[in-house]
Structure 1
Amino acid sequence: MKDLNIAFMGTPEFAVASLDALIRADFKIAVVITAPDRPAGRGRKLRASAVKSYAVEKGLPVLQPTNLKDPDFVEQLASFGVNLQVVVAFRMLPRQVWEFPEHGTFNLHASLLPDYRGAAPINWAVINGERTTGATTFFIDEQIDTGHVILQESLEIGPRENAGQLHDRLMALGAGLVVETVRQIQAGTVTTHPQPEPEPDKIAPKLFRDDCRIDWKAPAAQIDNLIRGLSPYPTAWTQLETGSGTTTCKIYAARPADTPSNGSPGDLHGMDRKLFVDTSDSQLEILELQPEGKRRMPVSDWLNGTELKKNDRFR
């Protein structure tokens, strides 16, 4: 059995589950590396990452480098006797960082690689209507998400599951995969295999605002996938056009209706405290939204204070 001194690298809540699982499995975390504190909220006060908050609570040493290529940072890492690095939801590492530990550097990715390489694998899997996804551990190499695979585990995506719900299930699945990967490295039994060539349409680039805008000319099922794939963050959006002007509206939840569209894509129909939108084929029922300047709410609450007019529409 190898003596491991682990450097754990991660920033968001997704990474905390893996760090916690390693500690509960009695692995030695020599140091935690996370993003620098950043301004957040209306007061723009500095806020620590979820990983830093957890590490401080557990009394673990924390490094927050701004430049991962800084020789002083690599020297600091070495001073902790690090011989294995575990990366979960962190930045791309330069070669001088990922290659120096004796037992390597591995990453957890929330997809079945090579599918959905990139920054937003959970969102894109739902947006694209996938029924299966999973998590992968792999040794890092020069390119993003291309290294040799260590372990993979799959799970089914629920028919009405959104990205937030899938995130939480993959967070737990991934934490178990990280622990098993470290166990195999410690025991010297780890095996790997190269990734096959990815399918060109199964990629997961960073999401930008334009990616999140709803196109009501698309089929209802496709729009439903987009809304679920972006909920609760970064959230699908549309513009609400009324006689008093145009405002932005976020859509958090919807579902395809059984009724065919009877107007133009984007036309709104209110009925029995329910809201339906015409698409290219059938209507989509809106369940939860956030009008500009207001709170997130069930559509029934919004309709209580809104009088829909004939030409009101999403566009």
Structure 2
Amino acid sequence: MRVLFAGTPAVAVPSLNALVEAGFDVVAVLTRPDAPIGRKRVMTPSPVAARAMELGIEVIRAARVDESVTAKIAGVNPDVAAIVAYGGLIPRAALDIPRHGWINLHFSLLPAWRGAAPVQRAVMAGDDITGAVTFLLEEGLDTGPVFGTLTEKVGPDDTAGELLERLSHSGAVLLSQTLSAVEAGRAAPQPQQGDVSLAPKLTLDDGRIHWNQPALAIGRRARGVTPEPGAWTTLDAQRVKLEPMRLRPEIQDLAPGAVAVDGKSVLVGTGSHAVELTRIQPAGKKMMAAADWARGMASLESVVFE
């Protein structure tokens, strides 16, 4: 079966590898254009493009699937298209090209968390269980019937990045199994069932910590926005980056945002109890252990995160 693979970030690479290893004929890869990376802004292929080039697979780079891109897709004559975090909408003209349609690997238990940031939103919401599904792509936002499902427990210390890394590998197996079932004529997608929730793309503001919120909500937010866009607060009107923090429910006498040291621990007050900082990046400096940052401060008595 001839497969067009559409994907862009590193989490899509395990799926591309799985399809190649399973013996599918991946005739081309559709991915986002090269992007500037690092301080020197060097134009760099997407992780999927880089892997496709290593495998000798044709790469179609496109920020959007317009008429010319649709023609290129038609030109490789795929039987099915597999899509994992491509990062763009697929118009009806392109959806209609493969005879088996487009099969999307999505990292949530649809219809929960439809959208661009399902894992991040699940962590921020405090979900205990998440997972991944394969479904038939439609013009609606993640609305198509589901082929297969897997579940994954959300650990109490999981960041969105760690959880997504696990799902990228287990989801790759699910995608390969789904395409095998489609090829054998055994696939029977079922309509989605349950309550719908939305997972819009994260913005920088989603990473801002509001210290008057309960510690549990603050901890979930910090883990949900790690590694991107990252948790942050402000001190003296400058942005300070934070890595996920530990909950300290036994300490409840700190005002929201107030900073204190307890032995080797750097604590911050919240709307409920304190949290313990792990690593912090002050403006203009590198990420460092919170204890090292605290030792470098002349005094913490008047330090209050905003």
CA distance in 1, matches of 2:81, 2:199: 24
CA distance in 2, matches of 1:134, 1:251: 27
Match in the other structure for 1:169: 166
Residues 128-175 of structure 1, C-alpha deviations (whole Å, 9 max, x = no match): 111100001000111110101111100101111111110110111110
Question: Are 1:21 and 2:12 an aligned pair?
Answer: no
Match in the other structure for 1:193: 190
Question: Are 1:217 and 2:222 an aligned pair?
Answer: no
Instruction: Among all aligned residue pairs of Structure 1 and Structure 2, give the percentage whose two residues are the same amino acid.
Output: 36
Please identify runs of 4+ aligned residues in structure 1 that moved more than 3 A. none
For the structure 1 residues 69 and 197, does the alpha-carbon distance in structure 2 shift closer, same or farther, using more than 3 Å as the test? farther
Residues 35-54 of structure 1, C-alpha deviations (whole Å, 9 max, x = no match): 11122222222111000000
Structure 2: runs of 5+ lacking an equivalent: none
CA RMSD of aligned residues (A): 1.3
Q: Are the counterparts in 2 of residues 273 and 304 from structure 1 also a CA contact under 8 Å?
A: no
For 1:221-240, what aligned pairs fall within 5 Å after superposition? Answer: 221-240=216-235
The one-letter code matched in structure 2 to 1:87 is I
Residues 26-76 of structure 1, C-alpha deviations (whole Å, 9 max, x = no match): 111011111111222222221110000000011111111344121x32222
The one-letter code matched in structure 1 to 2:77 is G
The one-letter code matched in structure 2 to 1:180 is Q
For residue 197 of structure 1, report the CA deviation from its aligned partner.
Answer: 4.8
Match in the other structure for 1:302: 293
Question: Are 1:106 and 2:97 an aligned pair?
Answer: no
CA distance in 1, matches of 2:246, 2:43: 39
Question: Are 1:48 and 2:45 an aligned pair?
Answer: yes
Structure 1 residue matching 2:71: 3-state secondary structure: helix
Q: Are the counterparts in 1 of residues 8 and 49 from structure 2 also a CA contact under 8 Å?
A: yes
Question: Are 1:257 and 2:257 an aligned pair?
Answer: no
For 1:51-130, what aligned pairs fall within 5 Å after superposition? Answer: 51-70=48-67, 72-90=68-86, 91-130=88-127
Give the TM-score, by structure 1 length. 0.93
Q: Are the counterparts in 1 of residues 28 and 60 from structure 2 also a CA contact under 8 Å?
A: yes
CA distance in 2, matches of 1:99, 1:280: 52
Match in the other structure for 2:273: 282
For residue 264 of structure 1, report the CA deviation from its aligned partner.
Answer: 2.0
Corresponding residue pairs, total: 305
For residue 300 of structure 1, report the CA deviation from its aligned partner.
Answer: 1.9
Question: Are 1:267 and 2:258 an aligned pair?
Answer: yes
Q: Are the counterparts in 1 of residues 294 and 300 from structure 2 also a CA contact under 8 Å?
A: no
Structure 2 residue matching 1:211: 3-state secondary structure: helix
CA distance in 1, matches of 2:64, 2:305: 44
Q: Are the counterparts in 2 of residues 11 and 51 from structure 1 also a CA contact under 8 Å?
A: yes
Match in the other structure for 1:32: 29
Q: Are the counterparts in 2 of residues 127 and 228 from structure 1 also a CA contact under 8 Å?
A: yes
Structure 1: runs of 5+ lacking an equivalent: none
